[in-house]
C-alpha cells in the first residue's frame, strides 16, 4: 500500500470515529505507521498493526493529550517503545519540543530509525528515564512534561519519579479503567506524599465498554 493510500485510510478512520486530526499531519502519520509496522516484523514494538487499531488507540490517545499541552512545551515520552504517543504528538503539534527515551537499547535504536524514516528531528535517548530527567533539573533543557503510556503501574512510576519531582514540571499519564485502584495502591505505599494526582480527561476506547483517562501528577509545591 502506498503512503498516499495509507494516509487516506487513516483519515477515513479518524473521520469515522470522530477523531479530529489536522489534514497536514496525515502524510506524516502514514509514513510513521508504515515504518513502525515494518520494524515490528523484526522487533515487537506494537500490537496495533492495522489502521483501525492504530487510529482507535494510538492516534486517539495522542489527540486526547494534545489539548493539555502548552505551545512549545518540552516533552519526554517515557518508555516510548515504538514511539507512541511521542512521535504522533510531534506530528500533530510541530510546536512541541519532543524527546523520547527507552531503557531497552534495541527499541531505542529502532525508534530512532523509525523517526529518521518518518522525516522527523526528534531526539531519542537510551537508558533510564529518571536518570535523564534528573540530569536536567533546571534551565532551557528541563522537561516541562513527562508523557507516559502503557509503561508501568502508578506505584512503580511514582517510585521512579516522586523522589525527583522537583526536576520536571509534571507527568501526564494515560491509564485505563483501573486507575483508581492503582492510585489507592500508590497512596497505601506512601508514594503520593509529595505529589498531587488529578484526573484531567477521559475518552472511550472504541470497541469496548471501557475508557482511557489522562492523569496529571505534579509536585505539591507546584500544583495548581
pLDDT tens column, 35-72: 999 999 888 888 888 999 999 999 999 999 999 999 99
| Site of grid cell 492504530 | 54
Q: What pLDDT, on a 0 to 100 scale, did the predictor assign at position 48?
A: 86
Element (H, E) at 99: strand 97-102
**CATH no., domain 3-219:** 3.40.50.150
Residue ranges covered by each domain of the chain: 3-219
- pLDDT tens-digit profile of 91-140? 999 999 999 999 999 999 999 999 999 999 999 999 999 999 999 999 99
Burial 162-187 (b: 16+ CB within 10 A, else e): beebebbbbbbbbbeeebeebbeebe
Write out the three cell numbers for 26: 496525515
Listed residue (174, 188, 19) closest to 11, CA to CA: 19
Element (H, E) at 109: helix 105-118
Q: What pTM value is reported for the model?
A: 0.94
Q: What pLDDT, on a 0 to 100 scale, did the predictor assign at position 150?
A: 82
* Confidence category of residue 222, pLDDT binned at 50, 70, 90: low
- pLDDT tens-digit profile of 145-195? 999 998 899 999 999 999 999 999 999 999 998 999 999 999 999 999 999
Distance CA 21, CA 12 (A): 11
Q: What pLDDT, on a 0 to 100 scale, did the predictor assign at position 209?
A: 84
pLDDT-above-70 percentage for the chain? 99
Amino acid at each position: 500500500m502506498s503512503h498516499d493510500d495509507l494516509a487516506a485510510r487513516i483519515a477515513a478512520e479518524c473521520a469515522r470515529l470522530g477523531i479530529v486530526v489536522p489534514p497536514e499531519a496525515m502524510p506524516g502519520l502514514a509514513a510513521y505507521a508504515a515504518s513502525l509496522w515494518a520494524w515490528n516484523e523484526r522487533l515487537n514494538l506494537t500490537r496495533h498493526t492495522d489502521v483501525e487499531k492504530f487510529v482507535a488507540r494510538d492516534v486517539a490517545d495522542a489527540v486526547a493529550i494534545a489539548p493539555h499541552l502548552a505551545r512549545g512545551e518540552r516533552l519526554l515520552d517515557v518508555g516510548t517503545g515504538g514511539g507512541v504517543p511521542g512521535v504522533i504528538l510531534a506530528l500533530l503539534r510541530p510546536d512541541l519540543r519532543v524527546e523520547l527515551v527507552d531503557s531497552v537499547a534495541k527499541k531505542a535504536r529502532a525508534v530512532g530509525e523509525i523517526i529518521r524514516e518518518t522525516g522527523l528531528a526528534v531526539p531519542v535517548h537510551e537508558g533510564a528515564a529518571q536518570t535523564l530527567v534528573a540530569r536536567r533539573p533546571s534551565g532551557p533543557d528541563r522537561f516541562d512534561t513527562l508523557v507516559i503510556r502503557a509503561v508501568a503501574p502508578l506505584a512503580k512510576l511514582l517510585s521512579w519519579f516522586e523522589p525527583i519531582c522537583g526536576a520536571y514540571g509534571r507527568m501526564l499519564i494515560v491509564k485505563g479503567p483501573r486507575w483508581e485502584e492503582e492510585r489507592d495502591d500508590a497512596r497505601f505505599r506512601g508514594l503520593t506524599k509529595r505529589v498531587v494526582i488529578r484526573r484531567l480527561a477521559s475518552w472511550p476506547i472504541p470497541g469496548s465498554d471501557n475508557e482511557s483517562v489522562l492523569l496529571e501528577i505534579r509536585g505539591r509545591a507546584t500544583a495548581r
